[in-house]
Structure 1
Amino acid sequence: MQSDTQPSDPTTVSARNFRALWAGAAVTNLADGVVKLTLPLVTVSMTDSPALVAGISVANTLPWLLFSLPAGVLADRVDRRRLIMMMAAARALVLAVLGGGVLADVLPLAGLYAGALLLGTAEVFADTTRMSVAPMVVPRNRMESAFAKLTATETVANEFIGPPLGGLLAAAGLAVAFGAGGLGYAGALLALAIMTGHYRSNRYSRSATSAPSLRADMWSGLQFVWRERVLRTLLLLAGAASACWAAWMAVIVVYAVAPGPMDLSRAEYGMLIGALGVGGVVGASAAPALTRQLGRQIVLAMSMACFTVLLAAPAISSSARLIAVTTFLGGVGAGAWNVTYSSLRALVVPDQMMGRYSGVSRLISWGSMPLGALVAGFTAELINVRAVFWGGAALCALVLAATLRTVTSPEFQRVEARATASHEPAPAQPHHF
């Protein structure tokens, strides 16, 4: 197992490469936070239909359902760093077009939807591939610490700094917010450019003249996940939770921003979403220590409990203080879950399967988001926004019960043993990650 999980090019393991990847992830997620807050605000300025407002979330997340598997296969076939750089450049270009359209007041709602779809597609390929690069730049005995740093930084940028900054920029002008997002992606491109080494999987050599078909590779990824029963179950549970989270995100802007029940301004809405990031930082930073003290089982169960609270609060109250606190707790759960599950996966899944596994993982855990947003839009349109939160809270409660059952099973103990066996102490390293 040791040989299966080593990086394809050991020279890529270095502090410089990790710092560059870390910086690129930080700037990318900062731009993501700005853009994902700006998209619904632009939509609200064009229409007051809850279904059409939720539709922008559907468009932005639909690529996770459509392209996660091909993205995972591609990540196992090409230089992973270059693919991420191409996606950063593509997103900067799309935002330049959207910003220009808003500035000239010629951007139609359909054009905004198309831009959201393109941005989401680039995100699928970039994020799926980044998950495959991380194990290639850090030694195995520092894997959990590296994932904690990446997850905490991504959460800070995407959910803590990005949304409030996006709210302030949107208050100055929606085109300004789009322009700032484009500059962020350009900065990520520069950060990744300083990484050294080759980032191809050890599955294919440059001289290979043939490779399995795209369909065969996607099928092999699905088969691998199917055989990993515990990881598969946790993925399905995460997928259900992600659908609930997407439903919350799709309609919370209608519920929060004036004239909604919470009566918040754009800037205040950005601060509310930023509470997710504050919690995410706390959860991600604390996850390694909590895992050592309590075990992965308890951390995963507590994470899902926090997420259930996130959905339940707006179902019973429109209090900005209460919803801000529960939003923070939801972020704690999300951050802790991401670090705990990602580190487990990185220790168990071989490098040559990492891209395809990441693709299947994102298909299941993120591909459910457009479905959740779609259901939320129609539910809010036909009933009311609060009904979305009631439904999400009920589903999350069921997911919590299933999580408790999974993490207490003998199968989970066996996966834990495999991860522990692969987490062998490494020789003293001259680098500090």
Structure 2
Amino acid sequence: MEGVLGKRYWTLWSSATLANLGDGMRIVALPLIAYSVSDDPVDITLIAVFAALPGLLVGPLAGVMVDRLDRRGVIAVAHGLRALLVLAFALLVQDGETDLLSVYALAVLLPLLEVFADSAAQPLLAELLPERLLERGNSRLFIARMLAQDVLGSPVAGFLIGVSASLPFLANGATFAGAMVLVLMVRGPAAPVTGRPGARPRIRTGTIRSAASGVGRDLREGVAAIWHTPLVRAIALTSAALNFVLLTGSALLVVYAKQDLRLTDEEYALLFTAAAVGSALGGWVAPRVAARLGTGPTMVLSLVGVGMSRAAFGLAPGLWLALGSFFAIGAATFVYNVAVTSYLQRVTPHALIGRVYATTQAASYGAALLAALTAGVLAQVTSVRTIMLAGGIAAIGCGIACRWTTPRERGRDEEGTPLPTVPGADGRPEK
């Protein structure tokens, strides 16, 4: 049926949503456990630093492995190992034997496995859906991720940890185990769609896997596919820049909210609620916007929207403009994410998609780590309000740069043209 996502998609959706519900609980509970061991701010912030390292250091390698292995198997193994790690940590918490070393180990190992799971999930989703449904499928998945992790997972963790410190981690282990079972229930790839790059479920002799002499060449091919394709290159660079711009301010958000906006704890929490509602709206309208405008113009529009909203937040005198700004930031960011993810899935050959996705994500992780290290330095030389305002102007600049650096699209058919840089990667002969 036209527009129906199908049982296999919804099974994958359920698996991802369940895993993200557990992530939301752990993200809240793990810093609280660390705080019970040490109240040194440096010890606590190291959790975020360790969590960002795997995506930066291992992301491209994970992409190579995902392109060589069965994607469902990679996700299932990652979820299974994460379940074992979290359940083992829950036993440590229950026995009162937690220390910072175990906290840091969990903070590194879970994101490491998540890199493999996420790198495999994007190409798997592209296998299960025809091109015309990619935006819709991604928007539903992103909305569910946000609601499960940020809206449901956080308050559930607060309730569970009030009963027992180990309960959020026991629940997280159960969600990972359930996610593993569900992804194993996703049956083979969708039937090939005529003209769609990467539609063939197996790569024939003479394609990228057999031609590559090793991991190094695989990595170079993934980077080349990004760098030599204008819109894909723009997506990778812009996403990294946007991550740096937004996360530099986010690292100082609580300071800005308390000192400049003078918000109460309850009002501060409302900022995230506003962003969540805006994100849900953005995810809902993203398929329509991308279908009407195309990927390049949608990137420009959403980046300018993010920039104007962040600048408004930097100028906010109090709660109400701050809430409206966070709502708009959430909506514009979601439109951007849905549009660029769907575009990458559409144009990237099946044999390259893991590397392309993981490498672009590694750039974003690197920007996030740099933002965390830069925020404190900037706060020493200027005001937090100035940092927020400058971030908005920089995001608008990213949008303007995209307007002049991305190719002009002559229609949706041209937008679906596959990456041309690695001949034979999708099983077609070189022209």
- Normalising by structure 2, we get a TM-score of 0.81
Q: Do the aligned partners of residues 273 and 17 (structure 1) sit closer, same or farther apart at CA in structure 2, a change above 3 Å counting?
A: same
Cα drift, residue 171 of structure 1? 4.5
CA distance in 2, matches of 1:117, 1:191: 25
Q: 2:13 — aligned with what?
A: 22
Q: Which residue is 2:51 aligned to?
A: 60
SS at match of 1:351: coil
SS at match of 2:188: coil
Match of 1:80 in 2: 71
Q: Once structures 1 and 2 are overlaid, which stretch shifts more, 395-404 or 191-200? A: 191-200
Deviation per residue, 1:380-406 (Å, 9 max, x gap): 6x579x63x643542442232232232
The count of corresponding residues between Structure 1 and Structure 2 is 402
**Contact persistence 1:244–1:311 (CA under 8 A):** no
- Corresponding residue for 1:397? 393
What is the 5 A alignment of 1:182-261? 182-197=173-188, 202-203=202-203, 212-252=213-253
Distance 1:162 1:307, change over 3 A: farther
- Mapping of 1:12-161 within 5 angstroms? 15-161=6-152
Q: Which amino acid aligns with 1:106?
A: E
* Bigger RCO (CA 8 Å, 6+ sep): 1
Distance 1:163 1:298 in 2: 35
Task: List runs of 5+ in structure 2 lacking aligned partners.
Answer: 191-199, 419-431
2:370: which partner in 1?
A: 371
Task: Give the secondary-structure state (helix, strand or coil) at the position aligned to 1:413.
Answer: coil
Matched, 1:411 2:412: no
Distance 1:358 1:294, change over 3 A: closer
* Distance in 1 separating the partners of 2:35 and 2:121: 32
Q: Take 2:226 and 2:233, find their aligned partners in 1: how far apart are those partners?
A: 6
CA 390–291 in structure 1, closer or farther in 2 if over 3 Å, else same: same
Structure 2 Cα separation of the partners of residues 172 and 263 of structure 1 = 26
1:257-272 map, 5 Å: 262-264=263-265, 272=271
Residue deviations 1:132-151 (CA, integer Å, cap 9, x gap): 11111112232222222222
Per-residue deviation at 1:19?
A: 1.5
CA change 1:203–1:367 in 2 (3 A) is: farther
Tell me how far 1:307 sits from its aligned partner. 3.2
Tell me: CA distance 1:327–1:89, structure 2 relative to 1, closer, same or farther (3 Å): farther
- 2:161–2:167 contact (8 Å) kept in structure 1: yes
Q: For 1:176 and 1:220, how far apart are their aligned partners in 2?
A: 45
Look up the SS of the partner of 2:97 in the other structure: coil
Amino acid at match of 2:11: A
How far did residue 310 of structure 1 move? Answer: 6.1
Per the TM alignment, residue 226 of structure 1 is displaced from its structure 2 partner at its CA by 0.6
What amino acid is aligned across from residue 154 of structure 2 in structure 1? P
Could you tell me how far apart the structure 1 residues matched to 2:375 and 2:54 are? 18
Residue equivalent to 2:280: 281
Structure 2 match to 1:427: none
Once residues 345 and 261 of structure 1 are traced to their aligned partners in structure 2, the CA distance between those partners, rounded to angstroms, is: 42
Superposed CA RMSD: 3.4
User: For the residues of structure 1 that align with 2:258 and 2:87, how far apart are their CA atoms?
Assistant: 27
For residues 86 and 317 of structure 2, the distance between their equivalents in structure 1, rounded to whole angstroms, comes to 34
The superposition leaves residues 188-237 of structure 1 with CA deviations (integer Å, 9 ceiling, x where unpaired) of 112112112279963367xx888531111001100110101222122211
CA–CA distance in structure 1, aligned partners of residues 141 and 23 of structure 2: 15
2:234–2:406 contact (8 Å) kept in structure 1 = no
SS at structure 1 position matched to 2:68: coil
The gaps in structure 1 that reach 5 residues or longer are: 1-12, 423-433
Structure 1 stretch displaced more, 45-54 or 174-183: 45-54
TM-score with structure 1 length normalisation?
Answer: 0.80
CA–CA distance in structure 2, aligned partners of residues 377 and 175 of structure 1: 33
Shift of 1:24: 0.9
Q: Map Cα deviations across residues 327-381 of structure 1 (whole Å, 9 max, x no partner).
A: 332221221111111122222211111111111121122332222223335656x
- For 1:411, what is the secondary structure of its paired residue? coil
Aligned to 1:429: none
State the shift of 1:18 in Å: 1.2
User: Structure 1 residues 415 and 241 mapped into 2: Cα distance closer, same or farther (>3 Å)?
Assistant: farther
1:180 corresponding residue in structure 2: 171
- The residue type equivalent to 1:203 in the other structure is I
**Tell me, what secondary structure is at the counterpart of 2:69?**
coil
Q: 2: distance between equivalents of 1:179 and 1:378?
A: 38
TM-superposed CA distance for 1:255, in Å, is 6.5
Q: Which amino acid aligns with 1:330?
A: I
